[in-house]
Amino acid sequence: MILSLKKLVTASALGLVTILGTSEIASAQRNRDDRRDDQKQQEKTRKEDAKREQEQVRAEQQRQAEWAKQNQRMQAEQRRQDDRNRNDSRWGNGRWDGNNNQNSNRYRVYRNGSYYNTDRRGAELLRQAVNAGYQQGFQAARNDRNNRRRVNYSNSNIYQTGSFGYQSYVNRSQYQYYFRQGFQRGYQDGSNSRYQNDYDGQYQYGYNNNGSMSIIGTILSQILNIQTY
């Protein structure tokens, strides 16, 4: 009886050791599996981060390429406008500079082969159209950049409508044209990666005027090209 009891105790002890050993082996295996899973997850995260970074670089390169093309088109159009003005003897010598200190109340703008006549108030409204377009374009670009949307000013409903701030005193199509001219330039400044959200200097086409964006005067004059007669 005593011998049988000893055998039983020995067998129980061996079984316990076996169970404990098996448990430790299983725990060690789980730890190894967990480490492998962590390593796989870390590697996956690194690859995803690298992919996102590459996509951002490509998007920025595409954005700059698109703006370079648009810049070339706008500059070419401006050169054509300047050439028409130099070659057209019907233009007077007085160029509207955006102030109200001129004696004449007759203004006209030459666009697409035709003259559009207006007065001082109409000239001021067209000036406001360019500046309002610049402000709206700048804000639209910042929103697109911050939300990582594809940069394209023509997708904006405000640009497509072109009537933000419109007053019926001037021709709607004229207002829309100059609003969109300002919008394009504001959008370009707002989407340019050189200018961060806290940038407070002069941009390519505008500047920060006490917290409000305004288009540069020389750019405004080039776009409007309004003269007295």
What is the model's pLDDT at position 73?
Answer: 55
What is the model's pLDDT at position 99?
Answer: 46
**pLDDT(203) > 90:** yes
**pLDDT(158) > 90:** yes
| pLDDT confidence band for 148 (50 / 70 / 90) | confident
Mean pLDDT of the chain: 77
What is the model's pLDDT at position 81?
Answer: 47
What is the model's pLDDT at position 156?
Answer: 93
| pLDDT confidence band for 90 (50 / 70 / 90) | very low
| pLDDT confidence band for 63 (50 / 70 / 90) | low
Mean pLDDT of 14-24: 60
Q: For the residues of the chain, what is the DSSP string, one character each?
A: -HHHHHHHHHHHHHHHHHHHHHHHHHHHHHHHHHHHHHHHHHHHHHHHHHHHHHHHHHHHHHHHHHHHHHHHHHHHHHHHHHHHHHH-TTS-SPBP-S-S--S---EEEEETTEEEEE-HHHHHHHHHHHHHHHHHHHHHHHHHHHTT----GGG-HHHHH--TT--TTS-HHHHHHHHHHHHHHHHHHHH-TTS-TT--SB-SSEEEETTEEEE-HHHHHHHH-EEE-
Mean pLDDT is highest, among 11-15, 32-36, 154-158, for 154-158
What is the model's pLDDT at position 54?
Answer: 72
Q: Could you state, in order of their start, the residue ranges of all structural domains in the chain?
A: 88-228
| pLDDT confidence band for 94 (50 / 70 / 90) | very low
Give the pTM: 0.59
What is the model's pLDDT at position 72?
Answer: 56
Q: What percent of the chain lies above the pLDDT cut of 70?
A: 69
**pLDDT(2) > 70:** no
